[in-house]
Amino acid sequence: MAPLLLQLAALGAALVAAALILISFVAFITATEMPQLHRHEEEKFFLNVRGQREALPSIRDSPTKQLSVVVPSYNEEKRLPVMMDEALGYLEDRQKQDPTFTYEVIIVDDGSKDQTSKVAFKYCQKYGSDKVRVITLVKNRGKGGAIRMDQMAIACGSRAHLEKESIAQRSYFRTLLMYGFHFLVWFLCVKGIRDTQCGFKLLTREAASRTFSSLHIERWAFDVELLYIAQFFKIPIAEIAVNWTEIEGSKLVPFWSWLQMGKDLLFIRLRYLIGAWRLEQTRKMN
């Protein structure tokens, strides 16, 4: 019996090793260079209050705002007003208390099929295009792709506050998937972060430029690669508790989305490990 068990164990180990080699090979040959941020002509402009096109600024321009709030949105015509009313109410109150405080809210319509851009533009008309801008992407790129595209347009903020939609309706199955995902994140990619998928991420201008310029993942797991890159560059990270209100209507499909994220996690780890993706270490950031 003992020799048989040893043979089975050896066979199992050999199969696991073969599977890892095969997966690593697939990860390497399917790895692409940095996704090209091809911008359609209409994506190079935003509409001002008068409905006239203005060229989007560049992140290479000198900053003119203290805070940039980035809101990637996909089919959010119903949920967007709740978030915008509360966020702009707070930002306006803060500016009244401190006239030196400046901000902008950039809504990135990620190829929505509903009236997201029209709903967002109403806030531009109300608050002015200096405070609220709407970028409408021709096709859906995913949250990571939408935010990367927007980094080309944040010419203002010395800090960028990235807001993404929350996950609602936490069933037992969904909770189980969530804990499994968090374990994979910890095991494969990012240590020391309790919730990598938190929708609020506040970055300095320099940190945003360095991390997003190195980002490959464009879908749900982009948060994990973002933090992986930040830890590689030794960018200090702190988790701060916030009050979070769930709003139903998340675009996350529990099983298939988590399956896609699990695959992305494995490929993030393998592609950096085998050198298909590389990060160049530079000076440590403050």
What pLDDT does 153 receive?
47
d(CA 80, CA 251): 13
- Phi, psi of 81, rounded to the nearest 5 degrees: -60, -35
Residue 135: pLDDT over 80: yes
Lookup result for tokens 């399917």 = 30
Confidence band of 77 (pLDDT split at 50, 70, 90): very high
**Percent of all residues in the chain with a pLDDT value above 70, rounded to a whole number:** 70
- Tell me the mean pLDDT in the region 230-243: 89
**48 DSSP 8-state letter:** -
Residue 169: pLDDT over 50: no
Confidence band of 47 (pLDDT split at 50, 70, 90): confident
What pLDDT does 166 receive?
37
In sequence order, what DSSP letters do the residues of 214-280 get, joined into one string? T----STTHHHHHHHHHHHTT-------------S-----HHHHHHHHHHHHHHHHHHHHTTSS---
3 state SS of 93: helix
For residues 119 and 81, is the Cβ–Cβ distance under 8 A? yes
- Tell me the mean pLDDT in the region 193-206: 84
Q: What is the pTM of this model?
A: 0.75
